[in-house]
Amino acid sequence: QKEVEQDPGPLSVPEGAIVSLNCTYSNSAFQYFMWYRQYSRKGPELLMYTYSSGNKEDGRFTAQVDKSSKYISLFIRDSQPSDSATYLCAMSKTQGGSEKLVFGKGTKLTVNP
Amino acid sequence: EPEVTQTPSHQVTQMGQEVILRCVPISNHLYFYWYRQILGQKVEFLVSFYNNEISEKSEIFDDQFSVERPDGSNFTLKIRSTKLEDSAMYFCASSDPDEQYFGPGTRLTVT
């Protein structure tokens, strides 16, 4: 079983839709969870950083962590064409300080005007 | 807004040649990383670096690879004797120490 699994999509939605992106993981040692956005041929851009189980909101983005199910989600409300990108989940075992990130493969999202 | 920068954006090299990929991390960050992404694959960790020494390296990071912080601003990844399978996007990242911020990447093409 892969450490981090993420449905690669592609996912295509109309503008204004609510988007749900998900990752599962197998290693219970993962404690810190991130979502990155990656535009084509660009570097990953940090969107959300969470630790505890529950929800964290930032504008139109909500990150949700369920450690008991080893499942994390990113919700995008009122999606915009500019949200079209690949979304990567990432996780680590400890907080910061040279800790490596383990990434999912990414979900490619297209928001159609 | 401070950002991680990388040069060159694209490097083409012949198999067996040495390449040096350069990064300028965010100025007050102390932790530095290299990751790579082969086309269509996951972003993979290569190495982390702190206090002028390697903190952790993956099994990918073999003797062919080395990292250096030659001065107070640059962080480099050297690949000796490149192989075809080294073709990938190479991303530098730095952290403060928790959140890792990535550069735009260097696309390495080995022919």
Cα separation, A47 vs A36, in Å, equals 5
Question: What token pair was written down for B105?
Answer: 């990447």
pLDDT higher for B33 or A98?
B33
CB pairs under 8 A between A and B: 65
Confidence of residue A20 (pLDDT cuts 50, 70, 90): very high
Q: What is the pLDDT of residue A76?
A: 97
Cα separation, A103 vs A2, in Å, equals 11
- Percent above pLDDT 70 for chain A: 99
Q: What is the pLDDT of residue A82?
A: 96
Q: What is the pLDDT of residue A101?
A: 95
Amino acid code (one letter) for B15:
M
Question: What token pair was written down for B16?
Answer: 């067996």
Q: Which of A100, A103, A108 to mutate to test the interface with B (most CBs of B within 10 A)?
A: A100
Q: Which of A99, A102, A105, A107 to mutate to test the interface with B (most CBs of B within 10 A)?
A: A99
Amino acid code (one letter) for B31:
Y
- Min Cα distance B40 → chain A (Å) is 8
CB contact under 8 A, A102 and B45: yes
CB contact under 8 A, B42 and A104: yes
Q: Contacts of residue B6 in chain A, CB cutoff 8 Å? A: 43
How do residues A21-67 score in pLDDT, each as one tens digit? Answer: 999 999 999 999 999 999 988 899 999 999 878 899 999 999 999 99
A95 → closest Cβ in B42, B98, B105: B98
A49 → closest Cβ in B43, B50, B98: B98
Number of residues written out for chain B: 111
Q: What is the pLDDT of residue B96?
A: 82
Confidence of residue B4 (pLDDT cuts 50, 70, 90): very high
Tell me which residue of A87, A88, A80, A90 sits closest to A109, measured CA to CA. Answer: A87
Cα separation, B63 vs B14, in Å, equals 19
Q: What is the pLDDT of residue B20?
A: 97
A103 → closest Cβ in B42, B50, B101: B42
